Structure 1
Amino acid sequence: MTANTRTDDPLVDLDDIGTNPTSNPSFTDLIASRLSRRRLFGLGVGTAGTALLQACGGGGDGGAAFPILPAAPAPAPVPPAPSPAPAPAPLKLNFGAVAKSLDDVVSVPVGYTASVLYRLGDPIASGVAAYKNDGSDEAATYDRRAGDHHDGMTFFGMNASNKWDATNASRGLLVMNHEAITPLFLHPAGQTISGTGNAAVRTVAGEVLREFYLHGVSVIEVNKSGSTWSYKQDSSLNRRVHTLTEMSFSGPAAKTDYLKTRYSTDGSKTRGTVNNCANGTTPWGTYLTCEENWAGYFRRIKATDDAKRTNPKEVTSFSRYGVAGTGRELWATVTGGDDIHARWNTEVIGATALDDYRNGSNTYGWVVEIDPFNPNSMPKKRTALGRFGHEGACLGPVVVGKPLVWYMGDDSQNEYLYKFVSTKAWDAADVGGGTAAGDKYMDDGKLYVAKFKADGSGDWLELKLGVNGITAANANYAFADAADVLINTRLAADSAGATKMDRPEWTAVNPKNGEVYLTLTNNSARTISGANNTVGTDAANPRYYNDPKGATAQKGNPNGHVIRFADTGGNPAAVTFKWDVYLFGARSTASADINVSNLGGDNDFSSPDGMWFSQAAPGLLWLETDDGKYTDVTNCMLLAALPGTVGDGAAKTITNVDGATTATQATFVGKAPGTDGLRRFLVGPVDCEITGIAESGDGRALFVNIQHPGENSKTIGDPNTFLSHWPDGAKSRPRSATVVITRNDGGLIGL
Structure 2
Amino acid sequence: MSARPHPGTGTVVTMTTTDDRDAVRGVSRRLLLPMAGHTAGKRSPVTCHLKCADACFHPVPNTSDNEYFRDIASASLTRRSVLWGAVAAGGAIVVGAAIGDAQPAAALGRPGKGRLPFTPIAPVGASVDAVVVPDGYRWAPIIRWGDPLFSKRDVFDPTRQTAALQERQFGYNNDYLDIIEGPAGLGALLVANQEYTNESIMFPPATTPEELDEQRRVAIAAHGMAVVQLYRTRRGKPWTYAVGAPLNRRITGNTPFTFSGPAAGSALLTTVEDPTGTTVRGTLGNCAGGTTPWGTVLSGEENFNGYFRTAGTSAADLRYGLADRATSRGWESVDPRFDARNPGYENEPNRFGWIVEVDPLDPHSPPVKHTALGRFKHEGANVVIGRTGRAVAYMGDDERFDYLYKFVSTDTYRPGKSLRARRHNKTLLAAGSLYVARFTGDSPVEEITGTGALPSDGAFDGTGQWVPLMIDGVSQVPGFSADQLVVNVRLAADAVGATKMDRCEDVEPHPRSGRVYVVCTNNTDRGKVGKEGATEPNPRSGNRDGHVIEITEAGDDAAATTFGWSILLVCGDPATNTSTYFAGFPPEKVSPISCPDNVTFDSVGNMWLATDGAPGVIGYCDGLFKVPLEGPERGRVQQFLSVPAQAETCGPVVRDEESMVYVAVQHPGEDGTWAQQHSYFPDYVAPGTLSGGRWGGPRPSVVQVWKP
TM-score (norm 1): 0.75
Match of residue 128 from structure 1 = 153
The letter for the 2-side match of 1:567 is E
Match of residue 5 from structure 1 = 46
Match of residue 282 from structure 1 = 292
Match of residue 251 from structure 1 = 261
Alpha-carbon spacing, 1:573–1:62, altered in 2? closer, same or farther (3 Å) = closer
The letter for the 1-side match of 2:431 is D
Correspondence list, 1:4-43, <5 A: 5=46, 12-14=53-55, 18-27=60-69, 30=70, 43=75
Aligned partner (choices 168, 178, 181) of residue 157 of structure 1: 181
Match of residue 117 from structure 2 = 94
The answer on whether the counterparts of 1:561 and 1:581 sit within 8 Å (CA) in structure 2 is yes
Match of residue 321 from structure 2 = 322
Query: 3-state DSSP class of the match of 2:317?
Result: helix
The answer on whether the counterparts of 2:414 and 2:424 sit within 8 Å (CA) in structure 1 is no
What is the CA–CA distance in structure 2 between the aligned matches of 1:681 and 1:193, rounded to whole Å?
A: 46
Residue 11 of structure 1 and its aligned partner are, at CA, apart by: 8.2
Q: Percent same amino acid among aligned pairs?
A: 33
What is the CA–CA distance in structure 1 between the aligned matches of 2:52 and 2:296, rounded to whole Å?
A: 34
Query: 3-state DSSP class of the match of 2:494?
Result: helix
The letter for the 2-side match of 1:423 is T
What is the CA–CA distance in structure 1 between the aligned matches of 2:700 and 2:667, rounded to whole Å?
A: 5
The letter for the 2-side match of 1:504 is C
What is the CA–CA distance in structure 2 between the aligned matches of 1:541 and 1:431, rounded to whole Å?
A: 45
Match of residue 486 from structure 1 = 486
Residue 511 of structure 1 and its aligned partner are, at CA, apart by: 1.8
The letter for the 2-side match of 1:342 is P
What is the CA–CA distance in structure 1 between the aligned matches of 2:156 and 2:502, rounded to whole Å?
A: 39
Match of residue 509 from structure 1 = 509
- Is residue 462 from structure 1 mapped to residue 468 from structure 2 by the alignment? yes
The answer on whether the counterparts of 1:222 and 1:230 sit within 8 Å (CA) in structure 2 is yes
What is the CA–CA distance in structure 2 between the aligned matches of 1:101 and 1:6, rounded to whole Å?
A: 20
- Is residue 298 from structure 1 mapped to residue 308 from structure 2 by the alignment? yes
What per-residue deviation string (whole Å, max 9, x for no partner) do you get for residues 330-383 of structure 1?
44442xx4xxx0111111x33xxxxx1100000001011111111111011111
The answer on whether the counterparts of 1:296 and 1:327 sit within 8 Å (CA) in structure 2 is no
What per-residue deviation string (whole Å, max 9, x for no partner) do you get for residues 463-510 of structure 1?
1389998212xxxxxx2x110000011111111111110000001111
The letter for the 2-side match of 1:623 is L
Query: 3-state DSSP class of the match of 1:14?
Result: coil
Match of residue 213 from structure 1 = 221
Query: 3-state DSSP class of the match of 1:491?
Result: helix
Match of residue 568 from structure 1 = 554
Alpha-carbon spacing, 1:65–1:136, altered in 2? closer, same or farther (3 Å) = closer
The letter for the 1-side match of 2:339 is N
Match of residue 658 from structure 1 = none
Residue 697 of structure 1 and its aligned partner are, at CA, apart by: 9.7
Alpha-carbon spacing, 1:384–1:7, altered in 2? closer, same or farther (3 Å) = closer
The answer on whether the counterparts of 1:243 and 1:274 sit within 8 Å (CA) in structure 2 is yes
The letter for the 2-side match of 1:179 is E
- Is residue 345 from structure 1 mapped to residue 309 from structure 2 by the alignment? no
Match of residue 532 from structure 2 = 535
Alpha-carbon spacing, 1:557–1:186, altered in 2? closer, same or farther (3 Å) = same
What per-residue deviation string (whole Å, max 9, x for no partner) do you get for residues 552-599 of structure 1?
xxxx00000001101100011111000000111111213433456653
Query: 3-state DSSP class of the match of 1:228?
Result: coil
What is the CA–CA distance in structure 2 between the aligned matches of 1:346 and 1:736, rounded to whole Å?
A: 31
Alpha-carbon spacing, 1:437–1:188, altered in 2? closer, same or farther (3 Å) = farther
The answer on whether the counterparts of 2:82 and 2:292 sit within 8 Å (CA) in structure 1 is no
The answer on whether the counterparts of 1:62 and 1:695 sit within 8 Å (CA) in structure 2 is no
Match of residue 383 from structure 1 = 371
Alpha-carbon spacing, 1:10–1:289, altered in 2? closer, same or farther (3 Å) = closer
What is the CA–CA distance in structure 1 between the aligned matches of 2:55 and 2:629, rounded to whole Å?
A: 31
Aligned partner (choices 655, 671, 674) of residue 716 of structure 1: 674
CA RMSD, 1 decimal: 2.9
Aligned partner (choices 403, 410, 414) of residue 401 of structure 2: 414
What is the CA–CA distance in structure 1 between the aligned matches of 2:633 and 2:530, rounded to whole Å?
A: 34
The letter for the 1-side match of 2:477 is I
What is the CA–CA distance in structure 2 between the aligned matches of 1:393 and 1:543, rounded to whole Å?
A: 26
The letter for the 2-side match of 1:706 is V
Query: 3-state DSSP class of the match of 2:470?
Result: coil
- Is residue 364 from structure 1 mapped to residue 352 from structure 2 by the alignment? yes
The answer on whether the counterparts of 1:299 and 1:332 sit within 8 Å (CA) in structure 2 is no
The answer on whether the counterparts of 2:225 and 2:252 sit within 8 Å (CA) in structure 1 is yes
Aligned partner (choices 144, 147, 160) of residue 119 of structure 1: 144
The letter for the 2-side match of 1:211 is A
The letter for the 1-side match of 2:243 is Q
The answer on whether the counterparts of 1:449 and 1:460 sit within 8 Å (CA) in structure 2 is yes
Residue 618 of structure 1 and its aligned partner are, at CA, apart by: 3.5
What is the CA–CA distance in structure 2 between the aligned matches of 1:571 and 1:499, rounded to whole Å?
A: 22
What is the CA–CA distance in structure 2 between the aligned matches of 1:397 and 1:520, rounded to whole Å?
A: 24
The answer on whether the counterparts of 1:543 and 1:594 sit within 8 Å (CA) in structure 2 is no
Alpha-carbon spacing, 1:7–1:602, altered in 2? closer, same or farther (3 Å) = closer
Q: Which runs of 5+ in 1 are unaligned?
A: 44-51, 56-60, 67-89, 159-166, 195-201, 307-314, 351-355, 473-478, 545-555, 646-670, 745-751
Residue 725 of structure 1 and its aligned partner are, at CA, apart by: 1.5
Aligned partner (choices 683, 686, 705) of residue 728 of structure 1: 683
Alpha-carbon spacing, 1:6–1:222, altered in 2? closer, same or farther (3 Å) = closer
**How many residue pairs align between the two structures?**
604
What is the CA–CA distance in structure 1 between the aligned matches of 2:525 and 2:475, rounded to whole Å?
A: 27
What is the CA–CA distance in structure 2 between the aligned matches of 1:363 and 1:4, rounded to whole Å?
A: 28
TM-score (norm 2): 0.80
What per-residue deviation string (whole Å, max 9, x for no partner) do you get for residues 310-341 of structure 1?
xxxxx11111001114353444442xx4xxx0
- Is residue 141 from structure 1 mapped to residue 141 from structure 2 by the alignment? no
What is the CA–CA distance in structure 1 between the aligned matches of 2:340 and 2:207, rounded to whole Å?
A: 23
Alpha-carbon spacing, 1:393–1:257, altered in 2? closer, same or farther (3 Å) = same
Using the TM superposition, name which of 516-525 and 429-438 deviates more: 429-438
Aligned partner (choices 215, 220, 225) of residue 233 of structure 2: 225
Match of residue 447 from structure 1 = 434
Q: Which runs of 5+ in 2 are unaligned?
A: 1-42, 86-112, 443-461, 688-695
Bigger relative contact order (CA 8 A; separation at least 6):
1
The letter for the 2-side match of 1:381 is K
Residue 276 of structure 1 and its aligned partner are, at CA, apart by: 0.3
What per-residue deviation string (whole Å, max 9, x for no partner) do you get for residues 220-254 of structure 1?
00111242311101201110001100011111110
Aligned partner (choices 738, 741, 745) of residue 702 of structure 2: 738
- Is residue 498 from structure 1 mapped to residue 498 from structure 2 by the alignment? yes
The answer on whether the counterparts of 1:430 and 1:437 sit within 8 Å (CA) in structure 2 is no
Match of residue 198 from structure 2 = 182
Alpha-carbon spacing, 1:121–1:281, altered in 2? closer, same or farther (3 Å) = same
The answer on whether the counterparts of 1:143 and 1:240 sit within 8 Å (CA) in structure 2 is yes
The answer on whether the counterparts of 2:133 and 2:139 sit within 8 Å (CA) in structure 1 is yes
Alpha-carbon spacing, 1:519–1:236, altered in 2? closer, same or farther (3 Å) = same
